[in-house]
C-alpha cells in the first residue's frame, strides 16, 4: 500500500512488530532532514536513525547507537529502539529480519558490493552472534533489473558467468537479483524466506530515481527498517 511517496513493506516479514518502508521519487527524502521526515511520516522516531556513509564496500556491522556510521554499507541492530536506514538509486536495498527475535538489518548492495561479498559478510555477521540464517526473512527491494543493467568487457569478468548474458551490441546483461539470491542461498538463508521485488528502478522513471538513467543529478530512495514500539 502506498502512503504519499513511500510504501510499507512490512507484510513481507513474519516478525509481528517489524516496520519496513521504502520511499519513491515523489517523497523529498534527500539529506539528513529528508530522511528524518520520512521517519516521521512512517511512524519512526527520527532521532533513532542509524545512517551509514555508503562507499560501495562490503562493510557491515551491528550498531549500538543511533547516528552516522562511516564507511559502511550494511547496518544491523538488536535494539528495537533503533532504526536502520540506507539510500539507493539502482542498487539493491536488502532487508533482513529474524522471524521471532528483535534482530534486523539493511544492506546497500550494488554490483561492486555484490562481487566483493557483502552478502557473505552479512551472513557471517549474523552467524557470529549465534543467529541461524535459516530463520531470517530477506527482501530485495526495487532495484535495476537485467532488462537495463549492462556492463562492458572491462568489468564482466568480475561476475559469476552463470548470471551473465552476452548481447548483440557487445555489452553484457547481468541479473543482479539472481546473483544475490544465489549468494544468500549459499550462505544458509532459505529459498522460501527470500523475496525479490520485480520493480526496475531504471524502467519506472515516474516512480524511482536511477543513477544509470539520470547520472549524478539522480535523487535517492530511502529504506527504513525498525520495530513498532506501540
pLDDT of residue 154: 86
Among residues of the chain, what percentage have pLDDT more than 70?
Answer: 98
Write out pLDDT tens, residues 45-94. 999 999 999 999 999 999 999 999 999 999 999 999 999 999 999 999 99
Would you say the pTM of this structure is higher than 0.85?
yes
Rounded to 5°, angle at Cα 203 from 198 and 209: 95
d(CA 227, CA 44): 8
Pairing of strands 74-77, 60-62: parallel
Please give the C-alpha separations between residue 118 and each of 5, 7, 47, 184, in angstroms, as whole numbers.
29, 25, 27, 10
pLDDT class of 169 with cuts at 50, 70, 90: confident
The tens digit of pLDDT for each residue in 114-168 reads: 999 999 999 999 999 999 999 999 999 999 999 999 998 888 999 989 999 998 8
pLDDT score of 3? 61
Kindly state the cell numbers that stand for 16.
509481528
Nearest to 174 by CA among 60, 91, 93, 118: 91
Q: Which three cell numbers stand for residue 183?
A: 549468494
Amino acid at each position: 500500500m502506498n502512503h504519499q511517496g513511500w510504501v510499507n513493506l512490512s507484510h513481507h516479514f513474519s516478525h509481528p512488530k517489524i516496520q519496513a518502508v521504502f520511499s519513491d521519487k515523489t517523497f523529498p527524502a534527500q539529506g539528513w532532514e529528508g530522511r528524518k521526515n520520512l521517519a516521521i511520516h512512517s511512524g519512526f522516531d527520527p532521532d533513532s536513525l542509524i545512517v551509514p556513509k555508503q562507499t560501495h564496500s562490503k562493510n557491515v556491522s551491528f550498531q549500538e547507537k543511533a547516528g552516522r556510521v562511516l564507511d559502511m554499507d550494511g547496518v544491523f541492530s538488536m535494539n528495537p529502539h533503533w532504526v536502520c536506514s540506507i539510500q539507493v538509486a539502482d542498487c539493491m536495498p536488502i532487508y533482513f529480519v529474524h522471524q521471532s527475535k528483535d534482530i534486523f538489518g539493511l544492506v546497500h548492495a550494488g554490483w561492486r558490493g555484490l562481487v566483493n561479498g557483502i552478502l557473505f559478510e552479512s551472513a557471517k555477521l549474523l552467524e557470529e552472534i549465534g543467529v541461524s540464517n535459516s530463520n531470517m526473512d530477506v527482501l530485495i527491494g526495487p532495484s535495476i533489473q537485467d532488462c537495463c543493467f549492462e556492463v562492458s568487457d572491462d568489468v564482466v569478468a568480475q561476475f559469476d558467468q552463470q548470471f551473465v548474458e552476452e548481447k548483440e551490441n557487445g555489452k553484457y546483461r547481468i541479473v543482479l537479483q539472481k546473483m544475490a539470491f544465489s549468494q544468500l542461498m549459499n550462505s544458509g538463508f532459505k529459498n522460501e524466506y527470500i523475496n525479490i521485488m520485480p520493480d526496475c528502478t531504471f524502467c519506472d522513471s515516474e516512480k524511482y530515481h536511477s543513477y544509470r538513467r539520470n547520472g549524478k543529478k539522480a535523487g535517492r530512495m530511502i529504506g527504513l527498517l525498525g520495530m513498532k514500539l506501540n
